[in-house]
């Protein structure tokens, strides 16, 4: 395979791909404007911050997978990839510790006024009388919005600083995550309003996308305590910049930000931002995941995804339909012999029945197998009779999911 890394990567972790005979190209200079011209002949595209648009997907002739070297996939046109049969996979949790560390660093820098103090020292000013004034964080309440891998990593560190941690109760959270939150000691509350009203510190750790766009808006900020601290190391799109500026200017709110609504897309450049330069903001340069430890871990996770793909396995895929689709589910137990499934598919094709999902697994010993096939529309009794008449079919069941 030809694997193109369109962003910088810790190259020490790429040896397994090269050793396996894959062609590996690393070109972090590629921009969204010229990426489309470089995906021809590429089987796997790996990106971190570079956007993958529909034009890039359409321009590719062999592209089978896009890997986001991180958790969020909002910079990738996932729908366009799905429409073209391209897997979109991510590497969740590998940079959680790095982002959590920066979150706590921003909190402590705000409370102890580290940036202002260091600036004065570098200017030759000694002002102990001013900078000895600090609240301290022990005993305060941190509300975490988004209790994924990063949010839980922040919670573990917050508890170590004697903070009380609260989060939102959410249906569908995995049993493992619920158990981890209980072990950490996170109290789960019913509503966001309750969390915001109780929290002295609010830390945001949500993915980008329509559901979180401008999550931190005027209503959100008005629900917070007027002297609270807001931390955001997730996505700039989660912030309503004007609303946050108004809150900073009219209340005692302070903010620690690693991301901004209008931040530059490149690694360097001019950045004129009222928000980033506000005296009540401590900011960093969207570097939450940018530690050497995190980059090595993300590179290793990315290689694992690609190696699995080369073995015929798909892990961490975000654009496959995992729910049962189709009008009916046909289970076919059959001899594990050449051409059996070809006969099944031909009978379905002749009946105008589309196969929407399918998996085939072999029984121990390799003499028989079972195919589970999601189809639409429902097969008629006549079609099922034709399938059952195939000599190599050992048994057949059909479950109707809809009225078809």
| Residue 346 is a catalytic residue | no
Q: Please identify which residue in the block is written with the tokens 């660093």.
A: 105
Note every long-range contact of 337-346, with CB atoms under 8 Å and residues 24 or more positions apart, other chains counting.
Answer: 337/392, 340/390, 340/392, 340/393, 341/371, 343/390, 343/392, 344/371, 344/373, 344/387, 344/390, 344/393
Note every long-range contact of 365-369, with CB atoms under 8 Å and residues 24 or more positions apart, other chains counting.
Answer: 366/336, 367/335, 367/336, 368/333, 368/334, 368/335, 368/336, 368/394, 369/333, 369/334, 369/335, 369/336
CB 398 within 8 Å of CB 384: yes
Total H helices, total E strands in the chain: 15, 16
Catalytic residue among 263, 274, 296, 367: 263
Beta bridge partners of 371: 332, 360
Q: Which pairing describes strands 393-400 and 328-335: parallel, antiparallel, or unpaired?
A: antiparallel
Q: Which two tokens stand for residue 292?
A: 């050497």
User: Which residues lie closer than 8 Å to 183 by C-beta, 6 or more apart?
Assistant: none
Nearest to 332, CA basis, from 342, 324, 323: 342
Catalytic residue among 48, 152, 286, 334: 286
Rg (CA), the chain: 26
DSSP string covering 87-115? EEEE-TTTTHHHHHHHHHHHHHHHHHTHH
* Edge-to-edge strand ranges of the sheet holding 328-335: 354-362, 368-376, 328-335, 393-400
User: Which ranges constitute the DSSP H helices of 164-291?
Assistant: 175-184, 192-198, 218-223, 241-250
Q: Which two tokens stand for residue 128?
A: 């102990």
Catalytic residue among 94, 235, 254, 334: 235
| Residue 48 is a catalytic residue | no
CA dist., res. 182 & res. 186, Å (int): 6
CB 248 within 8 Å of CB 283: no
Give the DSSP H or E segment for 325: none
| Residue 156 is a catalytic residue | no
Active-site residues, by number, are 235, 263, 286
């Amino acid at each position: 395979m030809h694997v193109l890394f369109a962003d910088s990567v810790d190259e020490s972790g790429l040896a397994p791909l090269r050793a396996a005979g894959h062609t590996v190209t690393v070109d972090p200079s590629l921009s969204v404007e010229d990426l489309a011209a470089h995906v021809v002949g590429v089987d796997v595209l790996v990106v971190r911050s570079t956007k993958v648009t529909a034009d890039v997907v359409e321009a590719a002739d062999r592209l089978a997978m896009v890997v986001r070297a991180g958790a969020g996939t909002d910079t990738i046109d996932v729908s366009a990839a799905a429409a073209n049969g391209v897997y979109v996979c991510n590497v969740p949790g590998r940079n959680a510790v790095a982002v959590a560390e920066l979150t706590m660093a921003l909190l402590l820098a705000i409370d102890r006024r580290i940036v202002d103090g260091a600036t004065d020292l570098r200017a030759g000013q000694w002002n102990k009388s001013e900078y000895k004034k600090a609240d301290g964080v022990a005993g305060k309440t941190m509300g975490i919005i988004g209790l994924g891998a990063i949010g839980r990593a922040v919670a573990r560190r917050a508890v170590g600083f004697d903070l009380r941690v609260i989060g939102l109760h959410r249906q569908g959270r995995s049993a493992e995550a619920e158990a981890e939150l209980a072990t950490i000691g996170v109290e789960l509350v019913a509503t966001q309003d309750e969390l915001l009203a109780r929290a002295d510190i609010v830390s945001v750790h949500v993915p980008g996308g329509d559901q979180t766009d401008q999550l931190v808006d005027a209503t959100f900020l008005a629900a917070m305590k007027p002297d609270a601290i807001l931390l955001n190391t997730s996505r700039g799109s989660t912030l309503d910049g004007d609303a946050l500026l108004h809150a900073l200017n009219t209340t005692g709110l302070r903010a620690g930000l690693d991301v901004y609504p209008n931040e530059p897309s490149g690694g360097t450049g001019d950045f004129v931002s009222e928000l980033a330069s506000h005296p009540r903001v401590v900011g960093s340069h969207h570097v939450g995941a940018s530690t050497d430890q995190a980059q090595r871990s993300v590179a290793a996770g990315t290689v694992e995804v690609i190696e699995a793909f080369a073995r015929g396995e798909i892990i961490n895929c975000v654009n496959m339909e995992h729910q049962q689709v189709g009008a009916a589910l046909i289970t076919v137990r059959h001899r594990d012999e050449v051409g059996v499934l070809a006969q099944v598919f031909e009978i379905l094709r002749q009946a105008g029945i589309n196969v929407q999902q399918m998996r085939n697994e072999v029984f121990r010993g390799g003499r028989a197998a079972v195919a589970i096939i999601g189809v639409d529309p429902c097969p008629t009794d006549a079609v099922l009779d034709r399938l059952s008449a195939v000599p190599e079919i050992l048994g057949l069941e059909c479950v109707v999911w809809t009225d078809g």
